[in-house]
């Protein structure tokens, strides 16, 4: 190709926003010549490279936007620590099918049992497979919703959250909140009901949700909406940190609760 034609091609690819094709067409063309590809195969290879690069960039953007703590991922999650049933439940969720059914995932267990890590790891895998998840800490989320309500833009804030296939609310009920704060949380859950998945971790079993929602009726209504289409995972495990500390001291070797069945 003449230098002038090359410059025109480069400009056209830039105008069409095809940077990967622009960067790679020469190398791919050389390979096509060497391996006697058809024109169509050459084009397919180039287009696929562009698509692949875009997918990767989009996932990077979505991972950043998800606000997930990236170090809590599937690779650093010790699945052997969980009873077999829980490990299986978590693995089954990786397919993301529950998102298509707008189902919720609720993880219960004492502090340190690995709820946040497990759900972050799952969420990160879901984002990597092209799903949109937003991580929020319940206290912060409630404050944001409350601020929105004060500015008369609560519906807009809730609508904005609807763009995420899954809304991860970490540590629901951890901080005691007042009635007004709980009302906005309830409004959010009611609006999302059957429209988008909610992923929740909580140290409090349902029987104590009255503490979160301040009255029995609201708690029952919130539980009803969350539970209706949900997968419940109960992690009745001891604290991971505590176990590590004990092991480090050498005072309590080999006490991982392997094989311990949960009653989820």
SS3 per residue for 191-231: HHCCCCEEEEEECCCHHHHHHHHCCHHHHHHHHHHHHHCEE
Return d(Cα 197, Cα 226) in angstroms, integer: 9
138 binds Mg ion (CB under 5 A): no
Residues 173-202, interacting with ligand ADP (CB under 6 A): 201
116 binds Mg ion (CB under 5 A): yes
240 binds ligand ADP (CB under 6 A): yes
CB under 5 to 8 A by kind: which of Mg ion, ligand ADP, none does 20 bind? none
139 binds ligand ADP (CB under 6 A): no
109 binds ligand ADP (CB under 6 A): yes
Number of H helices, E strands in the chain: 12, 5
- Please work out the total of residues on this chain that contact ligand ADP, with binding judged by CB under 6 A: 16
Phi and psi (nearest 5°) for 95?
Answer: -65, -25
Query: For residues 151 and 258, which CB has a smaller minimum distance to ligand ADP in the complex?
Result: 258
Name the minimum Å distance from CB 111 to ligand ADP: 4
CB under 5 to 8 A by kind: which of Mg ion, ligand ADP, none does 78 bind? ligand ADP
262 DSSP assignment: P
Confirm if 236 and 81 have CB atoms less than 8 A apart: no
Residues lying near Mg ion in the complex (CB under 5 A): 116
């Amino acid at each position: 190709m003449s230098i002038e034609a090359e410059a025109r091609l480069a400009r056209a690819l830039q105008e069409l926003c095809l940077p990967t094709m622009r960067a790679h067409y020469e190398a791919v063309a050389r390979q096509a010549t060497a391996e006697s590809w058809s024109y169509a195969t050459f084009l397919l290879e180039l287009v696929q490279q562009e698509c692949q690069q875009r997918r990767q960039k989009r996932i990077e953007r979505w991972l950043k936007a998800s606000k997930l703590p990236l170090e809590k991922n599937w690779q650093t999650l010790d699945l052997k620590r969980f009873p077999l049933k829980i490990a299986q439940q978590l693995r089954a969720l990786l397919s993301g099918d529950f998102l298509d059914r707008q189902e919720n995932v609720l993880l219960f267990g004492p502090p340190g049992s690995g709820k946040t890590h497990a759900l972050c790891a799952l969420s990160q895998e879901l984002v990597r497979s092209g799903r949109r998840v937003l991580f929020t800490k319940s206290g912060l989320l409630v404050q944001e919703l409350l601020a929105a309500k004060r500015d008369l833009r609560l519906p807009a804030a809730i609508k904005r959250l609807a763009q995420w296939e899954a809304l991860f609310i970490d540590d629901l009920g951890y901080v005691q909140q007042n009635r007004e704060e709980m009302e906005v949380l309830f409004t959010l859950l009611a609006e999302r009901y059957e429209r988008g998945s909610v992923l929740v971790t909580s140290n409090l079993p349902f029987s104590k949700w009255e503490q979160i929602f301040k009255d029995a009726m609201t708690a029952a209504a919130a539980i009803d909406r969350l539970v209706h289409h949900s997968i419940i995972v109960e992690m009745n495990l001891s604290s991971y940190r505590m176990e590590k500390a004990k092991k480090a001291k050498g005072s309590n070797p080999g006490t991982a609760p392997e094989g311990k069945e949960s009653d989820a």
